[in-house]
Amino acid sequence: MSTLNLVNIHSSPSHLHLHLRRTLHHQLSPSSSSLSPCRSLSRRHSITLSHAPTSLNSRQNFSLRAFYFEFDFDSDSDSDSDSSVLKLEEQQNSDNGAPKQAQEYPSGEFEFKEFDSWKKFEVECRMAIALPWQRVKKGSVLKFKLGGEISDQFNSWFEQGLSLPQICENFVKATYDPRIAGVYLHIEPLDCGWAKIDEIRRHILDFRKSGKFIVGYLTECGEKEYYLACACGELYAPPSAYFQLYGLTVQASFLGGVFEKVGIEPQIERIGRYKSAGDQLARKSISPENREMLNTLLNNIYENWLDEISTAKGKTREDVENFVNEGVYQVQKLKEAGWITDINYDDEVIISMLKERLGIQKDKNLPTVDYRRYSKVRKWTLGLSGGKDRIAIIRASGSIIRVRSPLSSLTSDIVAEQLIEKIRSVRESKKYKAVILRIDSPGGDALASDLMWREIKLLAAKLPVIASMGDVAASGGYYMAMGAGTIVAENLTLTGSIGVVTGKFNLGKLYERIGFNKEIISRGKYAELTAAEQRPFR
């Protein structure tokens, strides 16, 4: 699915969709044909491309540098100081033309800035004239209930489910909203990739810099849920909570033996040793390349998990590893060892503890606002928008196909012809200063990927284009990103492009076993190339 969102230059202080001043066009030269290495939004990190299930070369290291736009709340300011623009240093070249070092970007660390007196007065006035459904009672607690699938697209008011952009935007709004006293985060089993969880986790940590509280609550907890919950200042669970922190696994299944028994021969042609997409059909066991890739991927995620949990809980990595390897968790022991703050039921946290913290009498209701209602609060109301210049945000998530077919999902695919139309409309418009291309795709049709890459490349020749990667930007998803001048990845984004694959089933033996026969009359040397499924490729 592809969508187009527009943001004003001062519209959002979240990490990527932040402050792009008019100097950005000069500093991100669209005429450059070189491709910057993948970059991380947070800490500096080194990764081999084989860490993802798509890899060019297991020994080809790329340096990841942080990428960040700093937000300036003074929309009338004409200052182009170093703190309010994207800093891009010219890449130094050695005598043989090879780069001496990667371009340096700002750290990406969020810095909370208090509103001055005039800005506070302006925000109070805007809140006073807000529409009724955009009003929030002062001293309210923002209630998040995170669980299930999380979409990379903006949801409309009528759509169910969680939206990553809206989750992050709500945290940003709550950070600066004087009516929000804190956040109550109820975490349920999550069904999304590690990169989305990492992005939400970062927004939780950024929110805490405002000095407001955030309380996490867990009832059923695995590695992803605990990783996210540990970013909260306090973490509670009921006495009957399920904690299943046994470690991480990755699986690969194979149908080669099954097809052999029934007389079907999968014939897979590939370019790229690490292209494992056809292995499930053709092989009986894991290939050395696929094993190497999955092992490296698993190590990367697990090492990051250990590092972040140990930092959040003030423990050593050895403590965290021992905690995981114990395997059985009694909630009381989790409290005693400091893995959770306390044991409480949901009503005890919301009704008793938070009321006492906010000085609310027991017979009074705790003022709360839920995620969906708070999503309707406009950033303009909180003074987080302004400026005349606009950035276009083009969101592309799902598998890549060329045209919409009657059988394809209405929301889960990137349709090349639709995305190209959006890209062209942005390129032909004169009101945009830059473009962010948000990609969350495992790839798909190679031709469609190439056609979209071409349009992105043409767009980048006119405007600065930044590719932002979500959970996965692999194969065709990475191909699309190559058209941008700068590529930004999360620490745990799965990315890379390692080849192409095609093939067919040879059904000759199956036909013999069941007594089926097929005769083909043709003209032309290669006429039967795809028509003759009862014979192998020559």
| d(C-alpha 111, C-alpha 113), whole Å | 6
| d(C-alpha 285, C-alpha 388), whole Å | 58
| d(C-alpha 269, C-alpha 282), whole Å | 10
In angstroms, the Cα distances linking 191 to 188, 195, 294, 438 are: 10, 12, 20, 20
Q: Which two tokens stand for residue 345?
A: 């039921």
Q: Which two tokens stand for residue 16?
A: 């990527």
Residue from 57, 36, 61 nearest 47 by CA: 61
| d(C-alpha 135, C-alpha 119), whole Å | 19
SS3 category, 502? strand
Residue in 42, 276, 475, 497 annotated catalytic: 475
| d(C-alpha 415, C-alpha 451), whole Å | 11
Q: How far out from the chain centre does Cα 312 lie?
A: 21
Rounded to 5 degrees, what are φ and ψ at 39? -130, 150
CA atoms within 13 A on the CB side of 43: 9
475 in active site: yes
Contact 332, 198 (CB under 8 A): no
Residue with tokens 């004003």: 8
User: What do you get for the CA distance between the two ends of the chain, in Å?
Assistant: 39
How many CB atoms are located within 10 Å of the residue 91 CB?
14
Secondary structure letter of residue 339 according to DSSP: S
| d(C-alpha 522, C-alpha 534), whole Å | 15
Would you say how long the chain is, in residues? Answer: 538
Q: Which two tokens stand for residue 299?
A: 């190590």
Rounded to 5 degrees, what are φ and ψ at 392? -90, 130
Residue from 154, 141, 153 nearest 186 by CA: 141
DSSP string, 243-257: E------------HH
Residue from 299, 304, 190 nearest 250 by CA: 299
Contact 140, 213 (CB under 8 A): no
Could you tell me which residues come within 8 angstroms of residue 521 by beta carbon, excluding any fewer than 6 positions away?
A: none
Contact 476, 441 (CB under 8 A): yes
Quick one: three-class SS letters along 137-179? CCCEEEEEEEEEEEECCCCCCCCCCEEHHHHHHHHHHHHHCCC
In angstroms, the Cα distances linking 122 to 18, 19, 78, 181 are: 21, 20, 20, 20
Q: Which residues belong to the active site?
A: 475
